[in-house]
Amino acid sequence: MSQAIAPEKNGSVPYEQSRLYSLRHSAAHLMAQAITELYPGVKLSIGPPIENGFYYDVDLDEPIKESDLTAIEKKMKELAKLDQAITCKKAQDREDAKRIILEDCTLGQGEHTAEYKLQLLDAIPDGDDIIFYEQGRTDRAGNKHYFIDLCRGPHLPTTKEIKYFKLMSIAGAYWRGNVNNKQLTRIYGTAFETQEELDNYLYVLEEAKKRDHRILGKQLGLFMFSQRVGSGLPLWLPKGTTLRETLTDYLKKEQLERGYQGVITPNIASSKLYEKSGHIITYKDKMFPFMEDEDNNTFILKPMNCPFHIEIFANALRSYKELPIRLAEFGTVYRFEQSGELAGILRARGFTQDDAHLFVTPEQLEEEFIGVVKLTMDVLKKLGLTNYRARVGTRDPNDTKYVGGDENWKLAQEAIENACKSMDMDYDVSEGDAAFYGPKLDLIIKDALGREWQMGTIQVDYNLPERFELEYIGEDGNPHRPIMIHRAPFGSLERMIGLLTEHYSGAFPFWMSPVQIAIIPIADRHIEYAEKLKKDFKEYRISIDSRRETLGKKIRENQIQKVPVMLIVGDKDIENNTVGVRSREDGDKGAISIDSLKEFLESV
């Protein structure tokens, strides 16, 4: 899930200011209260809301197991129902705060349990308000419940409103994230406003686990990793390669028809190239270690294709008559992601971008931008990703970091918005979301599980043409600077195939399936007929499963491989010139003639 972004309600307040955020924060306190009752003497540290829920880091005398979470959850439910008011309490000064921590927060378990809270207090700058949130009530049986925590809030008014929550998992976490400190126990939970939302979240989690592209990628023979090759460096297996090349061929054809020109550039370059582009400073963190030869020449593994395409543009004197020039490359780049951030092929260290750079005149910007948006939409439609929204990233009017001039920014922003309008595409404007070198359009895809993925960014760039002093001769005979558009409808083949694998749960549409048809001869004497069939339908990717296994086993295994169409052939089929059709979606469709098969396959 790490690559999917949390669904965001259009037009709503940011998550950090939402009621849901407060709810999860209060749920974290509620969990901490439950833990103090179940594990007296526990030392609490911190417990914030996070993207999909909340956690609390606690220091327990003895370790707890995931199975203990049920009891904590039960206790939380009891405490919630008590309708404890959650109220804010401001310490008069640092001394007062210290007293509250040592007397109230410790709940009578001794001052040593306040260890982490005292350190947190120390970290609060002088002059800042020191705030606590407390909750408590005596239940019907006369038992007193109380909890108070050093906390900036905000919270819900009462625990009664914390209804739909679930504790998820346990992990280790070092105090203050420092490996030299003590390892605490982190307990993760989640909470929602309604049962339906909680159920949906848990369903998506469960479903996402089943659809995990790493598991499906192995099961379907798409790709592999090898320790000897290294983390984050996928090796594409035959079926994955076929899928990848099917996508590549499709996009190449689309691009050719739209006037793109293919180029191929090296995977390395002299450091001079990245000095000129500025990446050696702005992007160094993401670059692989440099290669230095004995003569002090430095080579860099390419993290992006743009400077190469610029070198190609700059290789000849360009006239306005040649523009727009659209250079496209399926370019493999390498980025030194931290190993903790790697996630199968969704986030890898080596990946192939379906990259292109358009060099355009200011007059061409809008039309070319529209062309790119149209291509991107056509690509997403072809891939079956039809649920998406658009976001225009513009300048922060209070920031001065931007290059390119006011007039240009206005022009580009209008071009982007006009492109959206002309395409009847709804969009939000996200102020301050632009890169320093130009405004952009993001398409945010919602997958079959409702998870959102930022894909298909289209970026206007005033910076690189400036840095490389690019020019074309205008109609007026004078040199002018072109504008660049960066775009990659897939993003990268790796990320898109990872997403498609999870979106389709491995059951790829017919046109992109690595094996489109599995012909299953019932016995050896039917193999010849199977091979004739394969030849007659050679426009499809067909495998013949001629193993000496039972028909049932062969069908089952091709089902696991999610092959869209199985053709089962036996004596009667040879006699009647038919095939038994089994569709991945509709199951057994019975015997049909070869002519009907042609029609059927065209309709799949």
Active-site amino acid positions: 306, 335, 353, 355, 357, 440, 486
Least distance from C-beta 230 to its own copies, angstroms?
4
Question: Which is closer to its own copies, CB of 109 or CB of 546?
Answer: 546
Looking at residue 363, the DSSP 8-state letter turns out to be: G
233 in contact with its own copies (CB under 8 A): yes
SS3 480: strand
What residues contact residue 185 under an 8 Å CB cut-off, 6+ apart? Answer: 57, 58, 59, 60, 63, 64, 170, 171, 172, 173
Rounded Cα distance, 526 and 532, in Å: 10
Alpha-carbon gap, residue 81 to 99, rounded angstroms: 30
Backbone angles phi, psi at 82, to 5 degrees: -65, -10
We find the least distance from the C-beta atom of residue 344 to its own copies, in angstroms, to be 15
Nearer to its own copies, 549 or 588 (CB): 549
Helices (H), 480-521: 493-503
DSSP string for residues in 10-40: TTPPPGGGSHHHHHHHHHHHHHHHHHHHHST
Least distance in angstroms from the C-beta of 499 to its own copies: 18
Q: Which of 45, 113, 185, 242 binds its own copies (CB under 8 A)?
A: 242
Among 264, 281, 340, 477, binds its own copies (CB under 8 A): 264
Contact 386, 497 (CB under 8 A): no
Per-residue contact string for residues 201-230; x = within reach of its own copies by CB under 8 A: -----------------------x-xxxxx
Interface characters, 339-378, with its own copies (x: CB under 8 A): -----------x----------------------------
* Phi, psi torsion values for 78, nearest 5 degrees: -60, -50
**CB nearer to its own copies: pick between 261 and 593:** 261
Please say which residue, 418 or 546, places its beta carbon nearer to its own copies.
Answer: 546
Would you count residue 276 as binding its own copies (CB under 8 A)? yes
Interface map 536-555 toward its own copies (x if CB under 8 A)? -----------x--------
CA distance 77 to 31: 9
Distance of alpha carbon 438 from alpha carbon 166, whole angstroms: 43
Counting beta carbons within 10 angstroms of the beta carbon of residue 456, is it exposed (0 to 12), middle (13 to 18) or buried (19 or more)? buried
- Number of residues in contact with its own copies under rule CB under 8 A: 51
Which residue(s) pair with 568 in the sheet?
520, 580
The answer to whether the beta carbons of residues 47 and 153 sit under 8 Å apart is no
| H or E stretch covering 270 | strand 268-270
Q: Which of 6, 50, 268, 523 binds its own copies (CB under 8 A)?
A: 268
Q: Considering only residues 293, 426, 575, 602, which one is a binding residue for its own copies as defined by CB under 8 A?
A: 293
245 lies in the binding site for its own copies (CB under 8 A): yes
299 lies in the site for its own copies, by CB under 8 A: yes
The pair of structure tokens assigned to 45 is 């540290």
Judged by CB under 8 A, does residue 292 bind its own copies?
Answer: yes
* Per-residue binding letters, 489-528, with its own copies (x by CB under 8 A): ----------------------------------------
Q: How many Å from the N-terminal Cα to the C-terminal Cα in the chain?
A: 30
- Name which position in 56, 334, 437, 504 contacts its own copies (CB under 8 A): 334
Q: Does 235 bind its own copies (CB under 8 A)?
A: yes
Near its own copies in 300-319, by CB under 8 A: 301, 307-308, 311-312, 315
Give CA–CA dist 153/156, Å, rounded.
9
238 sits near its own copies (criterion: CB under 8 A): yes
Binding span for its own copies by CB under 8 A among 33-41, 74-82, 137-145, 263-271: 263-271
Rounded to a whole number of angstroms, the minimum distance from the CB of residue 128 to its own copies is 36
**Which string of DSSP letters, residue by residue, matches 169-238?**
EEEEEEGGG-TTSPEEEEEEEEEESSHHHHHHHHHHHHHHHHT-HHHHHHHTT-EE--TTT-TT--EE-H
Footprint on this chain of its own copies (rule: CB under 8 A): 224, 226-230, 233-238, 240-242, 244-245, 261-270, 272-273, 276, 288-293, 297, 299, 301, 307-308, 311-312, 315, 321, 327, 332, 334, 336, 350, 547
